[in-house]
């Protein structure tokens, strides 16, 4: 298969590209990424050398129909990860979210419909999110199932829900072989340190304050990114077209407890005093409209495709702290924004 991966220079996309190349020796990957602040080709620096002739990077915008058309036409499948992904940024300014997550998704779907026709074998994976379901109350024992009504609450999740619905509409209306996954919170290597886990690890290492929004009792279900990549790959190849599959980690945790666990790990591995690190926690102004709890029922994925996560939370968090400790230069370049200037020069004029 030749798979077009969008957003392959981001956190999950880069892990997915590596997963596909390592697990499917006959496959090739074309990675289309605009290189926004979140896209970093250094996340895949090893890949071109490790898999000669099987990986190609194209810098470009998923909203650019002239660019997207031929790339989709030559692909046997699309794994669409590209997005504006950070909730806080969508609250600051939603424009880029609507452009990329809604219009960009439609541009890709249109290209697939035009190039592939209907009733064919080629498959389109839309990577949605559990946030499209809205929020649960803490005392609500239920978990989101695939038939739960969509009720997105932030501009980010609203834009992802629009893409999710467009993708399913292209299946229903045009017969496009669309698969949708709705995954819970990911963590692991190459995550941009605006997200909770890498932000807390790097701040603790540097002795900076640890900003916990509101009371810190917001609950997320954490999944290691490699498990998300395995699940996405499985759904892309074996899922039933037109279907939605939840992906979750069975690891619900309140933010405050998660931060305490990270502090313990950072203290143990860096030799710092745990009490002193705990003293860096600051309860700061809450995120407007903050979703209280997400909880995923991933039973359908297990029943239909036999998928269960392999990485437990304790092991996954420890490995993640180790990864950030051993990739200090990557962290420095990412937090300074230095990599952006470097790649802008490198790809200029190509
Ligand atoms: P990320 O922000 O780390 O990466 C996004 C990538 O998309 C970047 O490389 C960026 O350069 C690229 N991109 C952005 N706009 C683009 C455009 N217009 N054209 C081409 N490329 C563009 O995001 P992530 O955390 O890796 O998330 C990947 C996908 O998974 C997103 O669709 C997100 O909604 C979904 N998701 C994420 C999580 C999570 O916990 N991070 C959970 C569930 C679903
Ligand atoms: O649930 C899946 C979603 O998970 C994905 O669709 C999104 O792309 C991804 O960004 C993530 O969204 P969250 O908003 O849940 O992730 P974030 O890391 O921003 O925040 C996790 C929780 O931690 C949330 O309750 C807000 C809180 N938080 C976050 C930051 C950055 C803090 O308390 N302090 C912080 O500094």
The reported pTM is: 0.97
CATH top-level class of 2-186+224-248+295-309+339-347 = alpha beta
**For residue 200, which atom of ligand 2 is closest to its CA?**
36
For 268-288, letters b (16+ CB in 10 Å) and e give eeeeeeeeebeebbeeeeeee
Ligand 2: which of 195, 221, 257, 262 to mutate, most ligand atoms within 8 Å of CB?
Answer: 195
Supply the DSSP symbol for 42: G
What tens digit of pLDDT does each residue of 271-283 get?
999 999 999 999 9
Predicted local distance difference test score (pLDDT) of residue 336: 86
Q: Whose CA is nearest to atom 10 of ligand 2?
A: 86
**For residue 212, which atom of ligand 2 is closest to its CA?**
33
Percent of the chain with pLDDT over 90: 93
66 Cα distance to chain centroid: 26
**What residues flank ligand 1, with Cβ below 6 Å?**
6-7, 9-13, 32-36, 38-39, 61-63, 81-85, 100, 104, 127, 129, 160, 183, 185-186, 192
Angle at 247 between CA 242 and CA 250, to 5 degrees: 150
Please say if the pLDDT value at position 47 is more than 50.
yes
Please say if the pLDDT value at position 293 is more than 90.
yes
CA 70, CA 73: separation in Å to the nearest integer? 5
Per-domain residue ranges for the chain?
2-186+224-248+295-309+339-347
**For residue 157, which atom of ligand 2 is closest to its CA?**
6
Alpha helices in 75-184 (DSSP H): 87-92, 95-97, 105-116, 155-174
Please, what is the average pLDDT of the chain? 96
Q: Which residues are catalytic?
A: 130-131, 156
């Amino acid at each position: 298969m030749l798979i077009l991966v969008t957003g392959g220079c981001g956190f999950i996309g880069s892990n997915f590209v590596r997963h596909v190349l390592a697990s499917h020796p006959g496959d090739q990957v074309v990675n289309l990424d605009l290189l926004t602040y979140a896209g970093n080709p250094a996340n895949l620096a090893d890949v071109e050398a490790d898999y000669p002739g099987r990986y190609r990077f194209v810098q470009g915008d998923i909203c650019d129909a002239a660019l997207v058309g031929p790339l989709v036409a030559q692909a046997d499948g699309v794994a669409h990860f590209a997005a504006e992904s950070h909730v806080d940024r969508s609250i600051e300014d939603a424009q880029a979210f609507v452009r990329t997550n809604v219009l960009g998704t439609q541009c890709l779907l249109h290209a697939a419909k035009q190039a592939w026709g209907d009733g064919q074998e080629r498959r389109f994976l839309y990577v949605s999110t559990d946030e499209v379901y809205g929020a649960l109350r803490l005392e609500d024992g239920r978990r989101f199932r695939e038939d739960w009504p969509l009720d997105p609450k932030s501009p980010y999740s609203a834009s992802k829900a629009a893409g999710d619905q467009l993708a399913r509409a292209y299946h229903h209306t045009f017969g496009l072989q669309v698969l949708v996954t709705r995954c819970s919170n990911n963590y692991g290597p190459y995550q941009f340190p605006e997200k909770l886990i890498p932000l807390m690890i790097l701040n603790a290492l540097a002795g900076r304050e640890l900003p916990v929004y509101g009371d810190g009792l917001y609950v997320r279900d954490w999944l290691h990114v490699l498990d998300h990549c395995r699940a996405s790959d499985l759904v892309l190849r074996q899922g039933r077209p037109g279907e939605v599959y939840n992906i979750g980690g069975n690891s619900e945790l309140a933010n405050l407890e998660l931060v305490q666990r990270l502090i313990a790990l950072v203290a143990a591995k860096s030799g710092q005093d745990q009490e002193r690190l705990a003293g860096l926690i600051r309860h700061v102004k809450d995120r407007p409209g903050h979703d209280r709890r997400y909880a995923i029922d991933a039973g359908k994925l297990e029943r239909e495709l036999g998928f269960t996560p392999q990485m437990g939370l304790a092991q996954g968090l420890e490995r993640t702290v180790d990864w950030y400790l051993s990739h200090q230069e990557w962290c420095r370049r990412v937090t300074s924004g230095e990599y952006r200037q470097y790649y802008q020069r490198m790809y200029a004029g190509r």
